[in-house]
Amino acid sequence: METRAVYPGSFDPVTNGHIDLIQRSAAFFDKVVVSILRNTEKAPLFTVEERMEMLQEAIQGLKNVSVTSFAGLLVDFVEQIGASVIVRGIRAVSDYEYELQMALMNRRLSNKVETVFMLPAEAYSFLSSKLVKEIAQLGGSIRGLVPAEVEKRLCDKFRI
């Protein structure tokens, strides 16, 4: 039977660390659905549509990967689309506590959904969307940390 996985997140914006994880997931699962949370309380820099466009461009060539958005409970969305796995990345031990809490809560909400933690390449273990935005806003170089299109959009946002 086909194993479908959901890789959820804010992706505000997508980084090379996220892309690394998408590629690893695509090699491991039959189908990967990258899904952006819509009803966030956080004030995002990019709209959901902008984030989807950047992700679409980043996954070009990965035939078993699609991009979508979701609102409400993640486990409900996972079940609705017939998936059984949630993929989350762990960069360092500091990520683990929050990820463990979410994974166990999601397991409590649905015992049909399993969370799988994956490790990005070491080169991205320090990388986050938050830091990338901060560096871009302050005029630092983010080359090699995000796709070229994302770099351009960040520069446009901050009018660098």
Rounded to a whole number of angstroms, the CA Rg of the chain reads 15
Instruction: Choose between 25 and 106: whose C-beta lies nearer to ligand PNS.
Output: 106
Of 8-16, 20-28, 47-55, 152-160, which part binds ligand PNS (CB under 6 A)? Answer: 8-16
> Is residue 106 close enough to count as binding ligand PNS by CB under 6 A?
yes
Instruction: Choose between 18 and 153: whose C-beta lies nearer to ligand PNS.
Output: 18
Distance CA(38)–CA(60), nearest Å, equals 22
Of 5-13, 50-58, 119-127, 137-145, which part binds ligand PNS (CB under 6 A)? Answer: 5-13
> Is residue 13 close enough to count as binding ligand PNS by CB under 6 A?
no
The number of angstroms, rounded, from the C-alpha of 106 to the middle of its chain's C-alpha atoms is 17
Is 24 a residue of the active site?
no
Report strand pairing: 114-118 vs 31-37.
unpaired
CA distances from 72 to 20, 46, 49, 54, 113 (A): 26, 20, 18, 23, 16
Catalytic residue among 31, 51, 88, 91: 91
List residues binding ligand PNS (CB under 6 A): 8-10, 37, 73-74, 102, 105-106
